[in-house]
Structure 1
Amino acid sequence: MRTTHSAPLLCAISLLGINGAAAQSPPDSENGRYTLSAVKDGVVRLDTRTGIVSNCSDKGNGWACYVVPDERAALDAEIGRLQKENEVLKAQLAARNGAASGKSGDALPKPQRDSERKIEIPLPSDRDMDRMMSSIEKAWRRLVEMAGRLQRDYGGRI
Structure 2
Amino acid sequence: MAILVGLLCLLPARAQEAPSYTLQKTNDGYVRMNNKTGQMSICHEKSGQLICKMAVEERAAYDEDIADLKARVTKLEDAVASIGKLPPVVRDALPSQEDFEKGLSYMEKFLRRFMGIARDFENEEKGANPGSQSPQKT
TM-score exceeds 0.5: no
TM-score by length of 1: 0.26
* Larger RCO (CA under 8 A, 6+ residues apart): 2
